[in-house]
Each structure stands twice: as structure tokens, then as C-alpha cells.
């Protein structure tokens, strides 16, 4: 039994058209990373504060490889450099949440299939700790699932967004459940999370990248929506929606940024040129927000946009 989206799925092209009609043509900026041995840094988190330091976690990877490390970087006034002594992890696509006073770092672990060494399997893994120097593993998601995200709710419980694929989730749908503490996070809980139906067209997919507790107890959800074109190229867009954790109801999706909002740059493969992967968002006090994204699977950019969650706090 899933949660119902009363509006029904709206295709990428319709969401994109609506976005273009309200977008004034803002342009983001590329982030510069130093001391990474010529490797790409992309699919970053938004900056977060640790011990009075402004920190980003990023995916560090050679252009011709899918095997990456997640590293922590600190801004030095000109760019972002690795933090001495901080842990690194053999993971892709990092995400960070603060849950009950702890830092939770997650990422995607990949490894080759036994019978197809050129094909990869993957799963989401989680670490927890008081700081970025002492993170310890505590949970894993099901094999084949990315985009599992956590958020503390107003009653102190923890919301868990999931993204199954295959027989249950098709190309990728969003599920949701709650747990009482981080100790309750496990594969079974994640696999049994009910789906939010009618969010995505069957030929398209999406997932949650970050969730924010809003002032009214609702959840502001930052995510991505994606599709293939007739040539087989991928198109990924940053999107947002509201989720009511009590009534278990989502608002309609809306695109909040596209590749065209960022400067031209490198790409991992040609079919990934029109890809942005939401990393995180920082809400400001002036009605705007800073959105941080991986771009074309090769770079990291950020852009100032109208706060996409403000309208949900007035509902």
C-alpha cells in the first residue's frame, strides 16, 4: 500500500516548460577543487559546518572510471582543498544529515558482478559519528538501491526516503517510512517502505537527494527527475516537492534548475551532458537559497535560486 499523489505524474518536458516560463535565466558558478591529482570532483553535498569549518563532501573520480572516493574539503578563500586527517571512503555520491546530534554520512558502494566483471552492483551505506574524523559504519541499504535519505521530524522520529527500482519501482520511484532511531535503520525497513505512487511517468524516474524539516512540520524535499531522449541520452533536472509526514501526502513536483542554468564545462560522457544531480540546498534569510549540484558527471557548481520551500511553509 503506497501513498497517493492526487495530481498524477507530470512528464519531464511539461515540468521543464513550466520551469522555463518562470525562470529568469539565472546562471550558476563552478566550484574549484585543489590537490585531487587531476581527478574530477562532482555530486557534492551542500557546504555544512563542522567545528567552525565550512565543509563539503564530494565524489572524487577519474574521468574514465566509476570507482571513486568520497572526500571532505574545506574552503580556503580561493577554492576547496582536502581536509588533513579527515576520513575518505570508497563510495560514490555522498550525502550528509544531522540526526539526533550526530553527523550521518551516506554514499553508494559499488563492486563488480561475479559473472560480469564489467558490470557493477551497488548499495547505499551509512556512517555516523560526532565529527568527520570518527565516522563508523552502522547500516546498509538493499543491493540495487541508491538515494536513501534521512531527516529528523518535528516529533523526534526519523523520516526515511527510499528509491526502489525493478519490479517494485520500475526505473526508480520514491518510498517513505519512519523509524524511532538510527539503530532501527536496516535493509528490511528500507525495502518495506511504502511507495509514493503517481509521481513519475513509467518511462521516467527520480529520487530524493536531501530533505528539510520546514517551520510547519512539513518536509521540503530536494531531488532529481530524469528521462531518456530518443537517442538514449540522459536528462536530469533538480526538482522539489513538499511531503506531509503525517498525512503521507506529497505536493506536485516542480523543476528548480536545469543544466542550462550552469556554465558550459566538461562531461564524463556525451550522453551525460544534460545532467545535473542535486547535492544539497542552503536556505537563506532573504527568500533565496543556494543549490549545489553535480554537473555532467564531471564538475560541481552552485547557484542562487528563489527558496523552493517557502511556498510550502504557507500551505
Q: pLDDT > 70: what percent of the chain?
A: 98
CA distance 252 to 198: 10
Pairing of strands 175-179, 158-162: antiparallel
CATH code where residue 89 lies: 2.115.10.20
**Is it the case that residue 26 has pLDDT exceeding 90?**
no
pLDDT at res. 43: 98
**Is it the case that residue 179 has pLDDT exceeding 90?**
yes
What confidence tens digit (pLDDT) does each residue in 118-129 have? 889 999 999 999
CA 91 centroid distance within chain: 14
Given a contact cutoff of 8 angstroms between Cβ atoms, the answer to whether 191 and 198 are in contact is no
CA distance 42 to 261: 16
Q: Record the pTM.
A: 0.95
pLDDT at res. 175: 97
DSSP 214: -
CA distance 31 to 79: 7
pLDDT at res. 5: 66
**Is it the case that residue 153 has pLDDT exceeding 60?**
yes
Q: How confident is the model at residue 161 (pLDDT cuts 50, 70, 90)?
A: very high
What confidence tens digit (pLDDT) does each residue in 82-134 have? 999 999 999 999 999 999 999 999 999 999 998 888 889 999 999 999 999 99
pLDDT, averaged across the chain: 95
**Is it the case that residue 167 has pLDDT exceeding 90?**
no
Cell 559519528 locates to 129
Average pLDDT over residues 144-170: 96
pLDDT at res. 60: 98
Tell me which residue range forms the domain holding 37.
Answer: 3-313
Strand partners, 128: 104, 136
Q: What's the number of domains the chain is made of?
A: 1
Which residues lie below 8 Å from residue 184, measured CB to CB, with a gap of 6+? 158
pLDDT at res. 280: 98
Q: How far is CA 62 from CA 36, 58, 220, 262, 314, in A?
A: 10, 13, 33, 22, 44
Cell 551497488 locates to 122
**Is it the case that residue 211 has pLDDT exceeding 80?**
yes
Average pLDDT over residues 210-219: 98
CA distance 239 to 206: 9
pLDDT at res. 270: 95
pLDDT at res. 1: 46
The larger pLDDT score, comparing residue 17 to residue 315, is at 17
Amino acid at each position: 500500500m503506497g501513498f497517493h499523489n492526487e495530481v498524477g505524474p507530470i512528464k519531464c518536458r511539461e515540468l521543464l516548460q513550466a520551469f522555463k516560463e518562470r525562470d529568469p535565466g539565472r546562471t550558476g558558478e563552478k566550484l574549484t577543487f585543489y590537490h585531487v591529482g587531476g581527478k574530477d570532483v562532482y555530486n557534492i553535498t551542500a557546504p555544512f559546518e563542522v567545528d567552525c569549518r565550512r565543509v563539503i563532501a564530494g565524489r572524487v573520480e577519474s574521468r574514465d572510471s566509476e570507482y571513486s572516493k568520497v572526500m571532505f574539503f574545506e574552503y580556503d578563500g580561493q577554492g576547496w582543498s582536502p581536509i588533513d586527517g579527515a576520513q575518505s571512503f570508497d563510495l560514490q555520491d555522498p550525502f550528509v544529515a544531522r540526526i539526533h546530534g550526530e553527523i550521518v554520512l551516506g554514499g553508494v558502494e559499488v563492486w563488480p558482478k561475479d559473472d560480469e566483471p564489467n558490470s557493477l552492483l551497488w548499495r547505499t551505506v551509512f556512517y555516523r559519528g560526532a565529527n568527520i574524523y570518527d565516522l563508523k559504519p552502522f547500516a546498509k541499504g538493499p543491493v540495487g538501491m541508491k538515494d536513501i535519505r534521512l531527516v529528523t521530524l518535528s516529533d523526534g522520529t526519523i523520516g526515511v526516503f527510499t528509491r526502489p527500482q525493478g519490479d517494485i519501482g520500475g526505473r526508480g520511484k520514491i518510498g517513505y517510512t519512519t523509524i524511532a532511531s538510527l539503530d532501527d535503520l536496516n535493509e528490511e525497513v528500507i525495502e518495506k517502505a511504502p511507495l509514493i505512487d503517481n509521481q513519475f511517468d513509467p518511462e521516467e524516474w527520480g529520487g530524493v537527494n536531501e530533505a528539510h524539516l520546514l517551520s510547519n512540520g512539513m518536509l521540503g524535499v530536494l531531488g532529481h527527475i530524469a528521462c531518456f531522449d530518443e537517442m538514449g541520452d540522459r536528462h536530469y533536472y533538480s526538482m522539489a516537492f513538499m511531503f506531509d509526514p503525517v498525512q503521507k501526502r506529497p505536493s506536485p513536483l516542480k523543476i528548480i534548475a536545469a543544466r542550462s542554468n550552469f556554465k558550459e564545462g566538461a562531461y564524463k560522457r556525451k550522453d551525460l551532458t544534460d545532467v545535473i544531480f542535486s547535492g544539497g540546498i542552503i536556505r537563506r534569510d532573504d527568500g533565496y537559497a543556494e543549490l549545489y549540484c553535480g554537473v555532467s558527471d564531471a564538475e560541481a557548481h552552485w547557484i542562487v535560486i528563489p527558496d523552493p520551500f517557502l511556498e510550502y511553509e504557507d500551505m
